[in-house]
Amino acid sequence: SIQEAAKEQALDAGFVRWKTSGGTSQEWTDRQYKEKDLWAFVGVPAAESLLPADVTHADAIDFFVDKRIAEKELVASPPAHPAELLRRVTYDLTGLPPTAKQTATFVDAFARDSDSAYEDLIDRLLSSPRYGERWARHWLDITRYADTGGMSNDYERSNMWRYRDYVIRCFNNDKPYNDFIKEQIAGDELAKTSVRKRHMAAGLEGQQLYAAVRKTETEGGYTEREAELLVASGFLRLGPWDNAMVDDDQARQIYLDDVVNITGQTFLSQTLRCCKCHDHKFDPIPTRDYYGIYAAFATTFPVERPAPFLSFESRDRFDSEKVFVEEMLTFARTEKKKLVDKREAAARVWYAEHDLPYKAENKRRADPDDQKPPRHVGLDHVESGMLKVRVQDEWIWERRLERFEPLVQSVFSARDMPKKTQNARKLRRFTVFRDDGGTVDTCILTGGSLEAPGAKVSPGVLSAISLKAQSEGPGHLLPTDVSGRRVALAKWIADAQNPLTVRSIVNRIWQYHFGRGLAVNSNNFGAKGGKPTHPDLLDYLSRRFLESNWSIKKLHRAIVLSDVYRRSVVPVDEQKLALVDPENSVLTHFRRRRLTAEEIRDSLLAVSGELVHADGGIPVFPEMNMEVALQPRMIQFSLAPAYQPSVRREERNRRTIYAYHCRGLADPFLELFNQPNPNESCELRDDASVTPQALTLLNSDFMTARAVAMSHAICCETQNTEEAIGSAFRRILGREATIAEVEQLEIFMQDTHENDERESKTKEPYPIEISRSLVEEFSGRRFEYREILPKFENYEADLGMHEVSKHCRSLADVCLLLMNTNEFLFVD
């Protein structure tokens, strides 16, 4: 058309002008931004200015929401049934279902005094240790928690679990969110300040003080408070990272880029990564600001630091797990020694034949080829390949032995780090780095390239926010000393006057309760992230959050006590709602949601009576699909060791948050139900439904084992079919079965009982060793080697169908059926 042709000509002309001007974009300060796009950068107004005088704080949430409903000429849904409300808030705050007894007690108390019963319930749930486990999982989604580093090696990050447990404690203790921020961004620097103050109080100064601080850092002589600050700084170690086959400077840049971006997403709800190459196209964030924050981290280096285990950190299972790791390490070393001995025997012969003195392998590497034997002298292609495998296995299990040492994944501020300590194949142990003054220059990298350094830039913050970063000097610049940059950055982020920070966390908390944030994109408050549906409500809650000393539990309480939260999932006028507000953005009714992957697993263990509530400690290894657990998984130069589940049921059946989280090996059950990829920050879980989910819920070994465990427990209580069905309903659905449901299931049980032939179908024994196959690097020929699986030698397997009576198996089918109902899998 003529219009389309004119549009194309205009675009062509614009491109020519841009090209002839040097291909530069308009300076961000000269751009015209729409005021509505800058809502997140504007200061948070006082709560009183947002709320009419006749509306109390207790009614504020409902006032703002009901106002929007009235504007849309819609009608809010009535309150949910007490049993539905109990299940909703119990899952929201603890991630677990209420028991039938808890449901009956609450419904009875609610009938007598609804407000008192509900408020007492909220207080109990918020004080439960299960609350911290539930809400820590949300935080770990955002920060990308995993127990391994990912990439080509996927090395274990020893004692990363200490950060996980720190987060759980912070939520349970209701640590003020501003302190939570500062500890994660700059915990190591705060710990060092504390150490210095301790030694100064003891009368040390000058060189003596310096030596005492160094000794504390190298030997780990921290107080519990200081050690926990180091644990908190594990936030800066959570991203996927490896420097294998990457230049050291590039690996360093990758690390710093990652830290800058995750800090912006997590605490400020800002996507900063695109500013690495150019000024932000839609938001007031120039490249200079990006590199200002980059400079704040430019003196930050990842290290494993000595830090004592805390008195409240669980060290259960250390002994048994250490025995297993040592057995695997001994096997690797023994197999390696056989091959090394054969190679060195041949090397001695070679040296004798060439009239040269024998040199050990590590002493001859740099010799000319004509003065040393071939690399794998005396070994054929199979043995050469096996030696590489055993060398890698030895390294892997040596690293896993670090689980039991008082180490913490942390960082350290220094001018630079010796290159030898940056090798990913070695634990980057704390050593004496250069932090004694000097400067560290940071440049804007043109196009994000290390090969094109531009103007120098000082440590800084986002200049679009009118909040000074320090009391002296230009408002948006941070100190330039080697140590203290991150403390200053953390204080700026955690300042009550920073509008991004407070809106970010308030929006996240709201989102996890309602399934959608007031601002829909919790990781991106920019122009492309969507505007808030209730901006005044977001600002009101943000201001109240600050006034409550950054208390997350008080924010929970205000939200779940509102009428908005207590509404039914059933809309009043569904047809009108589909036309006016199809996404329920004005909150006329509550949003039904499916349980998350962890909630499904934990709930199944809870209703079957198998869930073990043990707090913290080294990760457990739940049983997963054996084909996946034992499948070959490539890492650099070798295959990763097979996944071996924990031996005892009580270890495997702990909450999912305590499970080993391997980047390179996702649990297929959890992955199927949308457990997020830990390589990317997940602001909100996907709840997409796919066919394999239904098949897994019906047929997987995990589901069958839970059904059998429950039916066995019920059969130990009663052999009466009607009573057994009733017990299954109470355990799984938290209610009594109807007469019709009992009658139907009695017929179903009779049919399955008559046609049951599962008694003869015993489960295949677990393997205690397997054969692996690889291709030798230089010859291209395939070879096989042996891997042992010692955990299966005394493995405590789940109860199988063949181990219980026919009646119990029929009841297990009923349990499995109820576990597949929407009533169990969804929260209303």
Residue 789: pLDDT over 50 = yes
DSSP 522: T
Q: Is the pLDDT of residue 524 over 50?
A: yes
- Percent of the chain with pLDDT strictly greater than 70: 92
Check residue 249 and give its pLDDT.
Answer: 87
* 433 Cβ contact partners less than 8 Å away, ≥ 6 residues apart: 301, 412, 414, 415, 416, 417, 418
Question: What token pair was written down for 452?
Answer: 């094109």
Q: How confident is the model at residue 29 (pLDDT cuts 50, 70, 90)?
A: low
pLDDT for the residue numbered 21:
46
Residue 773 CB neighbours (<10 A): 11
Give whichever of 15-19, 31-35, 47-51, 223-227 has the largest mean pLDDT.
223-227
What digits encode the pLDDT tens for the residues 573-611? Answer: 999 999 999 999 999 999 999 999 999 999 999 999 999
Beta bridge partners of 271: none
Q: pLDDT grade, residue 50 (50/70/90)?
A: very high
Length of the chain: 828
Secondary structure, 3-state, 585-600: CCCCCCCCEECCHHHH
Are 81 and 599 within 8 A, CB to CB?
A: no
- What 3-state DSSP class applies to 791? helix
Query: What is residue 19's predicted lDDT score, i.e. its pLDDT?
Result: 47
- Helix-then-strand count for the chain, H and E: 31, 10
pLDDT at 753 (0 to 100):
84
Tokens of 137: 């999982």
Q: Note the pLDDT tens digit of each residue in 82-115.
A: 999 999 999 999 999 999 999 999 999 999 999 9
From residue 474, alpha-carbon distances to 2, 6, 204, 283, 479 in Å are: 53, 48, 35, 22, 10
Say what percent of the chain tops pLDDT 90: 78
Q: What is the reported pLDDT for 392?
A: 93
Per-residue tokens: 342: 């054969």
Residues 721-761 have pLDDT tens digits of 999 999 999 999 999 999 999 999 999 999 988 878 776 66
Residues 6+ apart with CB under 8 A from 729: 735, 736, 737, 741, 818
Give CA–CA dist 345/378, Å, rounded.
8
The answer to whether the beta carbons of residues 573 and 75 sit under 8 Å apart is yes
Top pLDDT among 808 and 757 is at: 808
568 by DSSP, 3-state: which?
Answer: coil
pLDDT of 30 higher than 80: no
Segment (H or E) for 512: helix 499-514
Q: How far is CA 194 from the centre of its chain?
A: 29
How far apart CA 125 and CA 119 sit, in angstroms, is 10
CA atoms within 13 A on the CB side of 729: 14
DSSP code, position 766: P
pLDDT of 466 over the 90 cut: no
Report the 10 Å Cβ neighbour count for 21: 10
Q: State pLDDT tens for residues 670-680.
A: 999 999 999 99
Of the candidates 823, 694, 785, the residue with the CA atom closest to the CA atom of residue 388: 785
Determine the Cα–Cα distance for residues 190 and 384; give it in Å rounded to an integer.
Answer: 50
**Averaged pLDDT of the chain:** 91
Residues 361-418: tens digit of each pLDDT: 999 999 999 999 998 899 998 999 999 999 999 999 999 999 999 999 999 998 877 6
pLDDT band at 244 (very low <50, low <70, confident <90, very high): confident
CB distance 483 to 192 below 8 Å: yes
407, 803 Cβ separation under 8 angstroms: no
Note the pLDDT tens digit of each residue in 121-151. Answer: 999 999 999 999 999 999 999 999 999 999 8
User: What is the rounded distance in angstroms from the CA atom of residue 562 to the CA atom of residue 119?
Assistant: 11
- The closest alpha carbon to 405, from 329, 304, 506, belongs to 304
The closest alpha carbon to 147, from 237, 246, 251, 252, belongs to 237
- Rounded Cα distance between 213 and 316, Å, is 32
Angstrom distance (rounded) from CA 325 to CA 315:
16
Cα separation, 805 vs 339, whole angstroms: 52
User: 223: which DSSP letter?
Assistant: -
End-to-end CA distance of the chain: 52
Q: How confident is the model at residue 426 (pLDDT cuts 50, 70, 90)?
A: very low
Mean of pLDDT values over 679-688: 93
What does the pLDDT read at residue 777? 80
Report yes or no: 325 and 403 within 8 Å, Cβ to Cβ.
Answer: yes
- CA atoms of 426 and 393, how far apart (whole Å): 14
Q: Which residues pair with 594 in a beta bridge?
A: 826
CA–CA dist 747, 461 (Å, integer): 69
In which band, very low, low, confident or very high, does the pLDDT at 191 lie, cut at 50, 70 and 90? Answer: very high
| SS3 sequence of 440-503 | CCEEEEHHHCCCCEEEEECCECCCCCCCCCCCCCCCCECCCCCCCHHHHHHHHHCCCCCHHHHH
Whole-angstrom Cα distance, residue 342 to residue 352? 16
- Calculate mean pLDDT across residues 807-825: 96
Is a pLDDT exceeding 50 seen at residue 425? no
Residue 538, amino acid: L
pLDDT at residue 685 in the model? 93
Banded pLDDT at 340 (limits 50, 70, 90): very high
In this prediction, residue 579 carries a pLDDT of 93
Helix (H, G, I), strand (E, B) or coil at 56: coil
Q: Token pair of 528, please?
A: 């492309």
**Is the distance from CB of 445 to CB of 436 less than 8 angstroms?**
no
Statement: residue 22 has pLDDT above 90: no
Pinpoint the alpha helices (H) of 51-160.
Answer: 60-71, 82-94, 100-112, 114-126, 129-143
Question: What pLDDT score does 622 carry?
Answer: 97
**CA dihedral of 123, 124, 127, 129, whole degrees rounded to 10:** -150
**CB neighbours of residue 344 within 10 Å:** 16
3-state secondary structure of 230: helix
